[in-house]
Amino acid sequence: MNFLAHLRLAGSRDEALLGGMLGDFVKGSPEGRFSAGVAEGIRLHRAIDSFADGHPVTRASRGRISPVRRRFAGVIVDVCYDHFLCRHWRRFYPEDLDAFARRVYGVLSANRPLLPERLTCVLPRMIAENWLSGYIHLERVGDALDRMTRRLTRGGAFLRSVEEIEASYAALEADFLAFFPELVAFCAGWNGGPRVPVPVAAGAGR
């Protein structure tokens, strides 16, 4: 899962949001390095990734990516699912998406001394380009995926990977809508972290 989903599932407390974000940037045990609340958020982040990676629906989504880009299918699906979370935000969360994004940016900025160097470096761009709620626009998803080529070996094959999402858009959206309520329920039942509500009946997308 990508940034927005992890943050949505982390819970509302500042420490939980920090842990939900830091899970992508911190290796090894978080115990003794962070407060108990942040460490819980990191552990939940890792539990979410494990649950998502092994789920049959996400495996089906990765299988929709063409063989030429199959090596990058996990990254494409992670970012794609954030796009669909933006589109269907009101099904899963009562707080306005833009307000939630601003709150997260505020929490990260206020806790800059706790952030790993790599996150500190990308935070200004994340805020300026609004990586969280900006993914509601598919062209922004394409830009984000293209940026990732800089960090990948043989990343040239990854360019224009938004075409994979466009080619299977309806099927990937159906995958997300089948999978995300199960992920929310998993987090609600997870014993080592904050509880989050199970989604209510589907309403209009954002």
Residue 206 lies in a domain: no
Question: Is 204 contained in some domain?
Answer: no
Domain range for 91: 3-189
Contacts of 12 (CB under 8 A, 6+ apart): none
Say if 201 falls within a structural domain: no
Q: Please state, in angstroms and as integers, the Cα–Cα distance from residue 4 to each residue in 82, 84, 134, 201, following that order.
A: 6, 10, 10, 21
Q: Distance of CA 25 to CAs 104, 118, 171, Å?
A: 16, 7, 31
Spatial separation of the C-alpha atoms in residues 20 and 57, rounded to whole Å: 22
Q: Based on the structure, what is the number of domains in the chain?
A: 1
Residue 150: inside a domain, yes or no? yes
N-to-C CA span, the chain = 20
Sign of CA dihedral 108, 109, 114, 115: positive
Neighbours of 124 (CB within 10 A): 10
Residue 25 · residue 116 · CB < 8 Å: yes
Domain for residue 197, yes or no? no
Task: Give the residue among 148, 179, 181 at the shortest CA–CA distance from 62.
Answer: 179
Sequential pLDDT tens for the chain (206 residues) = 899 999 999 988 999 999 999 998 988 888 888 899 999 999 999 999 999 999 999 999 999 999 999 989 999 999 999 999 999 999 999 899 999 999 999 999 999 998 999 999 999 999 999 999 999 999 999 998 988 876 766 667 788 999 999 999 999 999 999 999 999 999 998 865 444 443 333 333 33
For residue 173, is it within any domain? yes
**Would residue 194 count as lying in a domain?**
no
Residue 68 lies in a domain: yes
Model pTM score: 0.87
